[in-house]
Amino acid sequence: MGAVTVGTRAQVSPFTAFDRASWRALAGSSPLPLDAADLRGLATLGDRIDLDEVATVYLPLARLLSLHVAASRRLWAAQTEFLGARTEKVPFVIAVAGSVAVGKSTTARLLQALLAAGPDTPRVDLVTTDGFLLPNAVLGSRGMLARKGFPESYDRRALLRFLADVKSGRAEVSAPLYSHQDYDVLPGERQVIDSPDVLVLEGLNVLQAGGGAGRVPEVFLSDFFDFSVYVDATEHDVQQWYVERFLALRRTAFADSGAYFHRFAELTDEEAVATARGIWASVNGPNLRSNIAPSRSRARLVLQKAADHSVRRVLLRKL
């Protein structure tokens, strides 16, 4: 089956759907610039992915994005000539959104690696919005530590300023860094972004439209995006992946005595499963349903995953 339009006369959709075979065909003869060792370094813990999946899903996506980047450069050159004045070329910004444990971090890293290996070896930087979370001390003082990951737990003004600086062509823009081991923003540590060709921004709520508490912001994060990808799966599957990842972390990162979640390392399997499900029920599930999933329709492209982590269908917004 090839590309089909999603929807009927009664339900029109702005997306065109591709099954795996028709989407893979769009890569044409493009070589896969990664090997198994590269993939092991890019995949997030618990996200099952192999080279065939990369060739089927992510290589065609990288090729599509490369076309968009090239078109953006041509438009910039034409506009510069039309205006008769030199303007600075700004980075092409790609947003990657989705739930906790859905695999958006793997998607973002793969896109960074595949795009950087493309023609002219463009400079591609990756920034996660975790660094823009409010520090634990601030969240604790506001009684919001249990809502970490919800839109209000981020310094959205700082994130907006960061993106505005990036898209204005400013050199050496910096973003705060976050430690998953410490479960907190690292004081004084920054990631410097110096005029890349492409910037991949990965985060839970990057496609959200609202400003919180009934407020509508004058500027949205999405105003600065040139392309956006939403990694999608059923909540049942994502919850199961979250539980599996929690069990894996209990044996690895949580085992470090200096880890924020070291207290979970000694849990039995049954206790660990119950704890992970409790966290999902109180934090990640409500955030997904209230804030993250509603933003899916705002994405330019949606990767729909099956229970085995493979992408079963790709939805591309019609131009």
**pLDDT value at residue 82:** 92
Mean pLDDT of 16-32: 94
**pLDDT value at residue 171:** 86
With 90 as the cut, is the pLDDT of residue 44 above it?
A: no
The lowest-confidence range among 42-46, 186-190, 245-249 is 42-46
Structural domain containing residue 182: 4-317
Q: What is the 3-state secondary structure (H, E, C) of the chain?
A: CCCEEEECCCCEEEEEEEEHHHHHHHHCCCCCCCCHHHHHHHCCCCCCCCHHHHHHHHHHHHHHHHHHHHHHHHHHHHHHHHHCCCCCCCCEEEEEEECCCCCHHHHHHHHHHHHHCCCCCCCEEEEEHHHHECCHHHHHHCCCHHHECEHHHECHHHHHHHHHHHHCCCCCEEEEEEECCCCEEEEEEEEEECCCCEEEEEECCCCCCCCCCCCCCCCCHHHHCCEEEEEECCHHHHHHHHHHHHHHHHHCHHHCCCCCCHHHCCCCHHHHHHHHHHHHHHHHHHHHHHHHHHHHHHCCEEEEECCCCCEEEEEEECC
Number of domains in the chain: 1
Mean pLDDT of 4-14: 60
Mean pLDDT of 16-29: 95
The lowest-confidence range among 43-52, 84-93, 161-170, 213-222 is 213-222
Residues 254-293 have pLDDT tens digits of: 888 888 898 999 999 999 999 999 999 999 999 999 999 9
pLDDT band per the 50, 70, 90 thresholds, residue 2: low
**pLDDT value at residue 210:** 59
Residues 81-107 have pLDDT tens digits of: 898 877 778 999 999 999 999 999 999
pTM of the shown model: 0.92
In CATH, what number is assigned to the domain containing residue 270? 3.40.50.300
Residues 171-219 have pLDDT tens digits of: 899 999 999 999 999 999 999 999 999 999 999 999 987 555 555 556 8
